[in-house]
Amino acid sequence: MLQEGEKAPDLTLPDQRGEARRLSELWGKGPVVLYFYPKDETAGCTAEACAFRDAYETFKDAGAEVIGVSKDDVADHASFATHHRLPFVLLSDAGGAARKAYDVKKTFGIIEGRVTYVIDSQGVIRHAFDSQLRPTAHVGEALDVVKRLASRS
């Protein structure tokens, strides 16, 4: 897993609408909460996504954007976002390039990892959190970091 203080890798991935999104363009507008999750429509991933959805306005008020990443394809992401009214970007990492670049390891070697990074507007990782078993804890931890970054601005 990448660590605080490291430069975040800049990649371009398709979002749930099939549009190419470059990460540096997103964090160039303010902090980004980049969360990697195993799979759309699974219990833990749905709870995590809905917790981010419920706190989304608070993240936006603090100047941050939320971005979810999994290996699911664009169509699956579109369905997941619509089904759960997710207002944020979901990126498709079908080939695993983002997981590899961000060093998101599999749990027990078989389950895609659940890792959240908070990246500042300079593209520097300011927080990294890894917990497969506490998916909604990612939201609170990320929000605390985003609020600290906002208070320094």
Q: Is residue 144 part of a domain?
A: yes
- Each residue's pLDDT tens digit, 8-58: 999 999 999 999 999 999 998 889 999 999 999 999 999 999 999 999 999
Q: Is residue 113 part of a domain?
A: yes
**Does the predicted model carry a pTM greater than 0.75?**
yes
Tokens 């089904």, located at residue: 83
Q: Is residue 5 part of a domain?
A: no
- Domain residues for the domain of 77 are 12-152
Q: What is the domain count for the chain?
A: 1
Helix axes 43-61, 137-152, angle to 10 degrees: 20
What is the domain-level CATH number for residue 51?
3.40.30.10
Q: Is residue 6 part of a domain?
A: no
Active site residues: 45
Is the CB of residue 50 less than 8 Å from the CB of residue 75? no
For the chain, the average pLDDT equals: 94
Q: Where are the alpha helices (DSSP H) in 1-153?
A: 23-27, 43-61, 74-83, 97-101, 137-152
Q: Once rounded to an integer, what is the mean pLDDT over residues 65-77?
A: 97
Q: Is residue 2 part of a domain?
A: no
